[in-house]
Chains A and B, each alone.
Chain A
Amino acid sequence: MAEKYINARGLQCPGPVVELFKVAKVSEKGDLITIEVTDMAFKKDIAVWCRKTNNELVSLCEGEGTLKAVIRKG
């Protein structure tokens, strides 16, 4: 199981989602992907993305203008 980090700070939507797709595509089941985003609109996108792709949203926290999401590849 690998742990991956995506720095999507400063990227406006669709930037963070596009980055997440790229990394998820090359990840294995069970891998943990952490992504940091400063566009608050990502909050809705990530929930829907996880649901539609059967990936698990392990955590989503918000602070100092940053969203930090941890996803387990399903």
Chain B
Amino acid sequence: MADNKLIVIGAVAAGTKAASKAKRDNPNLEVKVFTKERYISYAGCGLPYYIGGIIRDKQELLVRSPEDFKREQGIDIFTEHEVKKIDASGKKVIVEDLKSGDIREYSYDKLIIATGASPIVPPLENINLANIFTLRSVSDAFAVRELLDSGAAKKAVIVGGGFIGLETAENLRNRGMDVTIVELVPHILPPFDEEMALYAQNHMIDRGVRILTGEKVTGFEGSDGKVTAVKTSAGDIEADMVILSIGVRPNTGIAVEAGIETGAAGAIKVNKYMETNIKDIYAAGDCAENTNLITGKPAWYPMGSTANKTGRIAGHNAALEKQEEALKESLEGVLGTTIVRLFEVNAAKTGLSEKDALKEGYEAETVLVPANDTAHYFPGYRMINTKLVVEKSTHKVLGAQIVGEGIVDKPIDTIAAAITMGARAEDLAKLDLAYAPPFSMAVGSTILSANVMLNKLNKRMESVKAPVLPDMLEKGGINVLDVREEEEFFISSIPGSKNIPMGELEVRLGEIDKNKETIILVCRIGNRAYMSYLKLKNLGFTNLKVLEGGICAYPYKLE
């Protein structure tokens, strides 16, 4: 039969997904999958939890084995077989069996490249010392876990404060390790806006993780071939293990050699059908670029959720007997939706952050709104802070970030869905969302933040964003008026602020310094400050602003 040979390179998320989908759609296909790794179809995102022991045994990480693929689907998976070369004109791949050293050619009719991404290992002094790890493959995780289980490591340094680094920090801390994170940019969680990231950062510090931001790792020191210290711009840090979690790069070597074009971040350029510039060659997963659904521009989001989608699409399209547009599956774009748990704090993001929006040239409006995750009279509710970013002129929602101890996955997914459908702030405010006390609030956090956004867009309120307040305080000339109760003020307050509880405002008006340029109203989450704003405005004050998100979402110095 013509056109019945499919070869897939790579066997983690996208590769195995593509192979399975292709075989399901077209059982006549002969599907071969090559991977240079020993393990396949593993839960890469679960590795930090394997290190921490939450995922107890090795086999729990391995989703399916090559034998499962052969028995259940008739797919041949060749582990420890590295594709050395793609011969695009001859439609074949040259493969080395890494165990025997044998080299063989295999011809294909369709080829799917799912070679993934590799951790960045910078050429630093003594980077090859033992006990310096990356955490990408299961083999990496097994090695780290073995060292921990042996009891030989007590002090860990994590280079890079992205998701993998932070999750690993939590898991190592939970095992009683002394943990230091060194991050180059001014805060952990680099894709998040500063005030959102700092909330999570403060919590990690409270939980005993040492965090150095804006600092650079310059090299390592060791003895007996094992790492003993990390050299940084902030001095040497003792370490008997190091995790490098600086980031990843797409694996595109053999693709580039074969004449396949690359795009965003050096990932393989694909159209919405996952087709590369060479006919009959597809790319999917972390090695392929994506399109940002909001900007329409090429972007790169190496994430398991996207890898599974693009793998499925590549598999479907490669398996089509008739290559007709109407029969093809496609992906218009993604939002880069992500979520992470850091001890008791959850952090999630979808679409553009405020800094992304500015960089892309949007005139954006933002709000930061703390709320309870479930009804305030139902025991056990927790706070979440929602930051919403919309385009000023159209009110279209561009993105959201949610950080807090409460449930964040539901609201971020709601907003991700709304953005995908092109929602405006007005649409978010009117969503008919499920409500009962154990699950949510009657006016849920998403609706609440959309309402606050509409108040701001309609100029009902002037506000100050948390990140600018520390500078304003330093410069002086402002009057920070905290309208919470005396007892709350006693527990923590902004340095230099004055306390007049909202209920006493009218009788204590004389205490407010009208000569200062601006009066910044502060409360716990922003609602009492807003009510005081309306009250004082009514009394003739003009120089008023509300601190967005209140003390609850203010991650800077308190006293």
Residues in chain A within 8 A of chain B (CB atoms): 9-10, 12-14, 17-18, 20-21, 38-41, 45, 48-49, 52, 64-66
Q: Whole-angstrom distance from the CB of B207 to the nearest CB of chain A?
A: 12
Interchain CB contact (< 8 A) of A13 among B380, B490, B524: B524
Contact at A65–B524, with CB atoms within 8 Å?
no
Q: Which of B332-389 contact A (CB under 8 A)?
A: 376-383
Q: Whole-angstrom distance from the CB of A62 to the nearest CB of chain B?
A: 9
Report if B491 contacts A (CB, 8 A): yes
Interchain CB contact (< 8 A) of A66 among B379, B491, B552: B379
Q: Whole-angstrom distance from the CB of B101 to the nearest CB of chain A?
A: 58
Q: Whole-angstrom distance from the CB of B437 to the nearest CB of chain A?
A: 11
**Proximity string of chain B (201-236) to chain A, C-beta cutoff 8 Å, 1 when within and 0 when not:** 000000000000000000000000000000000000
Contact at B484–A14, with CB atoms within 8 Å?
yes
Q: Closest A residue to B376 by CB, please name it.
A: A12
Contact at B487–A21, with CB atoms within 8 Å?
yes
Complex: how many Å from CA A20 to CA B483?
Answer: 20
Complex: how many Å from CA A58 to CA B19?
Answer: 59
**Proximity string of chain B (383-412) to chain A, C-beta cutoff 8 Å, 1 when within and 0 when not:** 100000000000000000000010000000
| In the complex, chain A residues whose CB is within 8 Å of the CB of B488 | 13-14, 17
Known A13-B524, A48-B492; judge A38-B379 contact (CB<8 A): yes
Contact at A41–B383, with CB atoms within 8 Å?
yes
| In the complex, chain A residues whose CB is within 8 Å of the CB of B524 | 13-14
Interface size on B, residues (CB 8 A): 18
| In the complex, chain B residues whose CB is within 8 Å of the CB of A40 | 380-383, 405
| In the complex, chain B residues whose CB is within 8 Å of the CB of A65 | 378-381
Nearest 9 CB-CB pairs, A to B?
Answer: A65-B380, A65-B379, A38-B379, A14-B488, A40-B382, A21-B487, A14-B485, A17-B487, A48-B491
Interchain CB contact (< 8 A) of A52 among B378, B380, B484, B490: B490
Known A40-B405, A48-B492; judge A14-B380 contact (CB<8 A): no
Q: Closest A residue to B559 by CB, please name it.
A: A52
Q: Closest A residue to B489 by CB, please name it.
A: A14
Q: Whole-angstrom distance from the CB of B492 to the nearest CB of chain A?
A: 6
Name 21 A/B residue pairs within 8 A (Cβ), A-sorted: A10-B377, A12-B376, A13-B524, A14-B485, A14-B488, A17-B485, A17-B488, A20-B487, A38-B377, A38-B378, A38-B379, A38-B380, A38-B381, A40-B380, A40-B381, A40-B405, A45-B491, A48-B491, A48-B492, A64-B379, A65-B378
Contact at A39–B485, with CB atoms within 8 Å?
no
Residues in chain B within 8 A of chain A (CB atoms): 376-383, 405, 484-485, 487-488, 490-492, 524, 552
Contact at B487–A39, with CB atoms within 8 Å?
no
Known A39-B376, A40-B405, A48-B492; judge A14-B487 contact (CB<8 A): yes
| In the complex, chain A residues whose CB is within 8 Å of the CB of B380 | 38, 40, 64-66
A-B Cβ contacts below 8 A, count: 48
Complex: how many Å from CA A4 to CA B102?
Answer: 79
| In the complex, chain A residues whose CB is within 8 Å of the CB of B376 | 12, 39
| In the complex, chain A residues whose CB is within 8 Å of the CB of B490 | 49, 52
| In the complex, chain A residues whose CB is within 8 Å of the CB of B485 | 14, 17-18
Main secondary structure of the interface of B (DSSP, over half): loop
Question: Residue among B485, B491, B524 with the most chain A CB within 10 A?
Answer: B491
Complex: how many Å from CA A41 to CA B113?
Answer: 49
Q: Whole-angstrom distance from the CB of A21 to the nearest CB of chain B?
A: 5
| In the complex, chain B residues whose CB is within 8 Å of the CB of A13 | 488, 524
Q: Whole-angstrom distance from the CB of A20 to the nearest CB of chain B?
A: 8
Complex: how many Å from CA A21 to CA B487?
Answer: 7
| In the complex, chain B residues whose CB is within 8 Å of the CB of A66 | 379-380
Question: Residue among B380, B405, B492 with the most chain A CB within 10 A?
Answer: B380
Complex: how many Å from CA A64 to CA B379?
Answer: 7
In the complex, besides A38-B378, A64-B379, 10 extra interface pairs with C-beta distance below 8 angstroms are A17-B487, A17-B491, A18-B485, A21-B487, A41-B383, A45-B491, A48-B491, A49-B490, A52-B490, A66-B380
Contact at A52–B491, with CB atoms within 8 Å?
yes
| In the complex, chain A residues whose CB is within 8 Å of the CB of B377 | 10, 38
Q: Closest A residue to B501 by CB, please name it.
A: A14
Q: Closest B residue to A40 by CB, please name it.
A: B382
| In the complex, chain A residues whose CB is within 8 Å of the CB of B552 | 41
Q: Whole-angstrom distance from the CB of A65 to the nearest CB of chain B?
A: 2
Q: Whole-angstrom distance from the CB of A48 to the nearest CB of chain B?
A: 5
Contact at A9–B379, with CB atoms within 8 Å?
yes
Complex: how many Å from CA A39 to CA B524?
Answer: 14
Interchain CB contact (< 8 A) of A18 among B379, B382, B487: B487
| In the complex, chain A residues whose CB is within 8 Å of the CB of B491 | 17, 45, 48-49, 52
| In the complex, chain B residues whose CB is within 8 Å of the CB of A10 | 377
Complex: how many Å from CA A20 to CA B524?
Answer: 18
Q: Whole-angstrom distance from the CB of B127 to the nearest CB of chain A?
A: 40
Complex: how many Å from CA A31 to CA B121?
Answer: 58
Complex: how many Å from CA A12 to CA B371?
Answer: 12
Q: Whole-angstrom distance from the CB of B84 to the nearest CB of chain A?
A: 56
Q: Whole-angstrom distance from the CB of A53 to the nearest CB of chain B?
A: 8
Q: Whole-angstrom distance from the CB of B85 to the nearest CB of chain A?
A: 58
| In the complex, chain B residues whose CB is within 8 Å of the CB of A45 | 491
Complex: how many Å from CA A48 to CA B490?
Answer: 10
Complex: how many Å from CA A66 to CA B379?
Answer: 6
Contact at A41–B487, with CB atoms within 8 Å?
no
Complex: how many Å from CA A38 to CA B375?
Answer: 11
